[in-house]
Amino acid sequence: MKGGRKNLKRAVMEEHVSLQDGLRIMQVVSLRGSNLIEVMDDSGSKSLAIFPAKFQKSIWIKRGNFVVVEGSGSEKALESGNKITCMISQVLFHEQVRTLQKSSDWPEIFRTTASVEAKDTEKTNEQVEETHCSSDDGLPPLEANLNRVRPAELLTDSCSDSDA
């Protein structure tokens, strides 16, 4: 393993993250493609950040993740007309977020969003389990696909067998 990837993995494994001057915690709002990511800062304003090439094929992010962003020249970039205002320096994983939430470095606006997202995922998991084999969804039954002939044993419905 090359030195760059090894150091990158070592940095990911660290639980304690310290924020130096010029580094801020932001939340990923959307992925724009081509290593451009829309992030939201602690004041609620959205901006574009670049996802460096050193993270490619090593770390993936999705909407709602938290990242550490270096935005020291963001005002200069906005004045010059550049749309990209900051660069992602680290992706925060679950354990790192948990330890940062307990510290004073964590922005107050993200305290409420993290707890709301956790409750929403619990609710959706419960709803999926309840409606797994339910036919009371108000939709008409699906018609059989006549393009392919299937054996008779595959045509039986597994949900109707368990209900009977």
Q: How confident is the model at residue 1 (pLDDT cuts 50, 70, 90)?
A: low
Q: What is the pTM of this model?
A: 0.62
The tens digit of pLDDT for each residue in 32-51 reads 988 899 999 888 889 899 99
What Cα–Cα distance (Å) separates residue 164 from each residue in 111, 143, 154, 160, 161? 47, 22, 18, 6, 6
Instruction: Report yes or no: 66 and 110 within 8 Å, Cβ to Cβ.
Output: yes
The tens digit of pLDDT for each residue in 67-82 reads 999 877 777 777 777 7
What are the structural domain ranges in the chain? 3-111
CATH number of 3-111: 2.40.50.140
